[in-house]
Amino acid sequence: MLICLNGKFVPKEKAVVSVFDHGLLYGDGVFEGIRSYNGRIFKLDEHVDRLYDSAKALTLSIPVSKEKMKAEIILSVKKNKLKDAYIRVVVTRGPGDLGLNPTKCPKAFYFIIAASISLYPAKFYKQGLPVIITSTRRNTPDALSPRVKSLNYLNNILGKLEANNYGVLEAVMLNREGYVAECTADNIFMVSKGVLYTPPTYVGALDGITRAMVVELAAGMSIKVKEVPFTACDLYVAEEVFLTGTAAEIMPIINIDARKIGTGKPGPLTVALLEKYKQITRTEGTEVYS
């Protein structure tokens, strides 16, 4: 496996980060998780735009242009001869001294990993996934904005741990006021009386690229979409619930906190959206091998 490290391709064993890197010492950095399907990178521009916006919010200057970054992402897939890949792009503040002052880090450090993707077991797309609501709250926008895809995922990891403890694979996170924010690495949707709901990003959710795709797909199917805050109670009584993300795509949720959601089976709108999403990922994207 070859890793792109500050623009140079090196074998995995040589792809190492300094113990003085502020990404490691303080979580001072940003990342993206991108996928390629059959040799096409899905939503490359959107992911790179979000990476640069996340970095800008932290006044972290990425040492290469967006165009160069995109070319290196494409090359990372190509050099590893991958068709269906999971691509992780990480930019850190870079090596500095022991002290959190970012001005002591002269140059940001970045790397790109193109690997094969580990997916949720296929049975969950057919049967639906059970989840819990974790007691760990999502970061608040007035502290660290959840719109910044930063290297600070500890709240989410604590949520994931709680999910593990309850024997499920994902957890819904609420915000400080108790409104549904998102899951630990996915956005959330529900269907109620035929209307599709997702929390607005100000509630405390990442501006998900799959989320945006689902909103667009629903509009194309003449389904009304409302971005308004809602609570756990709304989820419990919803007709359908699903989560969205680059890794998960569209995953039906059929059980929350051991309560059956809807009929207890993936709902018709969830299934229709998943089908459409699959079609689009099969046909759209930036060609790697053209």
Q: Which two tokens stand for residue 45?
A: 């521009």
Using the minimum distance from each CB to ligand PXG, give the nearer residue, 23 or 96: 23
Nearer to ligand PXG, 105 or 174 (CB): 174
| Residue 240 phi, psi (nearest 5) | -145, 150
Note the residue count of the chain: 290
Query: What's the alpha-carbon Rg for the chain, to the nearest Å?
Result: 19
Residue 81 annotated in active site:
no
The residue (of 199 and 262) whose beta carbon lies closer to ligand PXG is 199
Q: How many Cα neighbours within 13 Å face the side chain of 25? A: 16
Shortest distance, CB of residue 149 to ligand PXG, whole angstroms?
A: 6
Q: How far is the CB of 183 from ligand PXG (least distance, A)?
A: 7
Which helix (H) or strand (E) is 33 found in, with range? strand 29-37
At closest approach, how far in Å is the CB of 73 from ligand PXG? 14
**In the chain, which residue ranges form alpha helices assigned H by DSSP?**
22-26, 44-57, 66-79, 123-127, 154-165, 209-220, 232-236, 268-283
Torsion of CA 36, 37, 40, 46, to 10 degrees: -50
Q: Could you tell me the end-to-end alpha-carbon distance of the chain, in angstroms, rounded to an integer?
A: 22
Binding site for ligand PXG (CB under 6 A): 33, 156, 182, 185-187, 206, 208-211, 244-247
Q: How far is the CB of 234 from ligand PXG (least distance, A)?
A: 19
Please, what is the minimum distance in Å from the beta carbon of residue 85 to ligand PXG? 12
Judged by phi (left if over 0) then psi (alpha if -120 to 50, else beta), residue 175 lies in beta
Q: For residues 100 and 154, which CB has a smaller minimum distance to ligand PXG in the complex?
A: 154
Of the residues 149, 160, 226, 276, which is catalytic?
A: 149
246, amino acid identity:
T
Is the separation of the CB atoms in 238 and 261 below 8 Å?
yes
**77 vs 185 by CB, closer to ligand PXG:** 185
Which residues are identified as catalytic? 149
